[in-house]
Amino acid sequence: MKLRTKIIALLLAVVLLVSMPTLVRKVEEQLYPCKYADVVETYAAEYDLDPLLIYTFIRTESSFEPDAVSEVGARGLMQMTEETFEWIKTKLAPEEDITFADLYDPACAVRFGAYYLRLCLDRYGGDVATAAAAYHSGWGTVDSLLNHEDYAGDGKTLPTFPYSRMNHYVEKILHGYERYTELYGSSI
C-alpha cells in the first residue's frame, strides 16, 4: 500500500510539473489580458503603435473597465479628461457628432487614447517612458521638466521622473509593457 501511495504521489508531482508552465501562462494571461482586440488592432495599425503598448495603457488606466472614471473625471478605457478629449476632437474628429460621454464606448476611447499616445510618442522622440509621463501628467508638465536643468537629460526625454505619482505611473507602464511583450511577443 505504501508503494502504491508513493507511485501515485510521484505521478501527481510529474503531472503538476508538466502542466505548471501552462497554468502559470494562463494566470499571466488573465493578469495581462488582450481585451477589445479588434478595436485595439485597428487603432494600433492606424496610428502605427504596438498593440501591446495600447493594452498596457488600457490595463494601467482602467483595468479594461469601459465605464471607469478617475478621481479627476477622466473617462473610459484609456482615461481621458474632457479637456484633452475636446482638444483631440478638434484634430481627429472636428465634424463628428461625438461627446465626452462617448469615451465610455471602447471604440471611441481607444481611438482617442491611441491617437493621443501617438502624439505623445512623436513629441518625445518615441521614448515610451517620457510619453507615458506626458500621457499621465500632460505635455505642459513634461515640457516644464525638460526645461529644468535638473531633469532635462537630452532635452527630449526625461531620464528621471521627479514626482512620485508620475514616477509610479511610468514604472507601471514600463513594467506592464515588458510583461505584455514577454507574454505575447510578436504573436499578436
- The residues carrying an active-site annotation are 61
Angle at 19 between CA 16 and CA 22, to 5 degrees: 140
- Measured distance CA(58)–CA(163) in Å, rounded: 22
Q: Is 63 exposed, middle or buried (0-12, 13-18, 19+ CB in 10 A)?
A: exposed
CB 102 within 8 Å of CB 63: no
Three cell numbers, residue 45: 495599425
Q: Which residue has the cell 494600433?
A: 44
- Residue 169: name the closest of 116, 119, 133, 120 by CA: 133
- Measured distance CA(150)–CA(160) in Å, rounded: 10
- Measured distance CA(51)–CA(117) in Å, rounded: 12
- Measured distance CA(175)–CA(60) in Å, rounded: 10
CB 139 within 8 Å of CB 123: yes
